[in-house]
Chains A and B, each alone.
Chain A
C-alpha cells in the first residue's frame, strides 16, 4: 500500500527537509516536527485496511528482475517499483509514496538516520567533486544528468559485539650498522603475548544486494548519536529500499570488520618490531546483536558505454566516493596536445644543449 504524508494545515504533500530536520508542506510551507506527525503511521495503517486495491501486480521482467506495480493513492497512476522498494515517487503527480508493506513486519526498521545534506548541498558538493577532472564525458556533466542525484535510504544491519583476542608469537627488532669493512645486522628476538577484548557498537553492514559493499563502506563513518527510532515520515521525499541480504549473511562481513579492528589494535602495539611471526592468533566474537536501520546516501547511477558508474555521498556527513566515466575522445585530445607541447619544448631544450656544447 503506497501512502503519502499530508500537511496538518492544508492537506498538501509533506517532504522531509534535511536543513530544518522537519517536514515542510510543499503548498503552504507549514513546518511539522516529529511530534506533529506521530499519528501518521497509525492513520496510514488504518487506511491500508480500508483500501481494496493496493498492489496491482507482480511480474518478472525479461532481465529476471521482479517488477511490482502499485496504484498511486492520489492520481491512481501506476507506480512501478522493484520488489525491494520501500519509498519512491509517483512519476505522474511527483508525490512521494511510501509502501507501508515494505517497512512493516520483518522489514520494519528499528532506526533511521535522517538526511542532513539537502539536495542543493549535495549537488554543490558533487559539482565541486567533478571540477578539474578533464576526461568526464559531456553527457555525464550535463545538468540533466547531475539533476538525477537522488536521496536514498539504504538498508543496513547495525551490529554490536565484542571480539576477544589472544595472540602470541615471536617478534624481531633488526638494526643494521657499519663497522669498518663489515655491515653488522643485529636481530633481537622477543616473545610477544597480546590478549584482550574490543567492543564495537553499530557497525553498519549494507543489507541491499543492489549497492556495492565497498562503496557503502567508503562513505562511512556515520555519527550514530543522531540515530532516531524509525518512523515512516522520515522517508517522505526520498527513495528507500528494504533489506534483501539477511542478517545471518551480513554477519559474515560484520565479523570480518570486527576482527579487522582487533588486528589493527594488536598491530598498533607491535610497531616497534621489524617483523612479527604469530604462532597463535585466536579471535572469538561474542555478544552479537543487530538492529535494522536505514542510512542516508545521495546517489547518482549512470551507464556510460555499457559500464555502470556509481557516485555516492554520505547523506549525513557529505563524504564522497565516485567512480567516474572517462571520454576516450577527450583523453586522446589531451594526450596529443600535451605530447606536442612537451615534445616541442623538450626538442628545443635538446637543441639548445647541443648548440651550447653541454651534450
Chain B
C-alpha cells in the first residue's frame, strides 16, 4: 500500500465520517426542538357566517419577454 492509498483512506475517513456525522447530529438535534404552530384562528371559523361577497378577476394585459439561450447543439460543442 503506497502513500497515495493511505492518503485516499484518510481523505475518505474525514470527508465521509464528517459528512455522515454532521447529518446524523442535525437529525438528532431536530428531534429535540419543538415545532411551533402558526397562531391564526382557522380552527375557530364559523363557516355559516363566513363568506366572500366579492371575488373578481379581470384580465388587464399580457407582457411577453424573449431571452436568447444557447441552443442544445452549441451547448454540446462547449
Contact = CB atoms under 8 A, between A and B. Distances in A.
Chain A interface, >50% SS class: mixed
A11 interface: no
A194 B40 contact: no
Contacts of A322: 34
Given A344-B13, A359-B8, A190 B66 contact: no
B62 A187 contact: yes
Interface string A5-31: 000000000000000000000000000
Interface residues of B, number: 58
A130 B45 CA distance: 34
A261 B58 CA distance: 25
Contacts of B60: 170, 189-191
Contacts, number: 208
A349 B16 contact: yes
A326 B67 contact: no
Interface string B45-73: 11001111111111111111111111100
A181 B66 CA distance: 10
Contacts of A136: 32
Interface in A110-135: 132-135
B57 A192 contact: yes
Interface in B1-42: 4-5, 8-18, 20-21, 24-25, 28-29, 31-42
A260 B44 CA distance: 12
A338 B26 CA distance: 12
Contacts of A178: 69
A201 B56 contact: no
Contacts of B18: 339, 343
Interface of A: 132-136, 162, 170-171, 178-203, 213-215, 217-218, 220-221, 224, 253-254, 256-258, 260-261, 263-265, 269, 321-326, 331, 334-335, 338-351, 353-355, 359
11 contacts: A162-B49, A181-B68, A181-B70, A185-B64, A185-B65, A187-B65, A190-B60, A193-B56, A197-B51, A342-B20, A346-B16
Given A269-B55, A324-B34, A351-B5, 10 more contacts: A133-B28, A185-B66, A187-B63, A199-B49, A217-B37, A253-B39, A257-B40, A342-B21, A343-B17, A347-B17
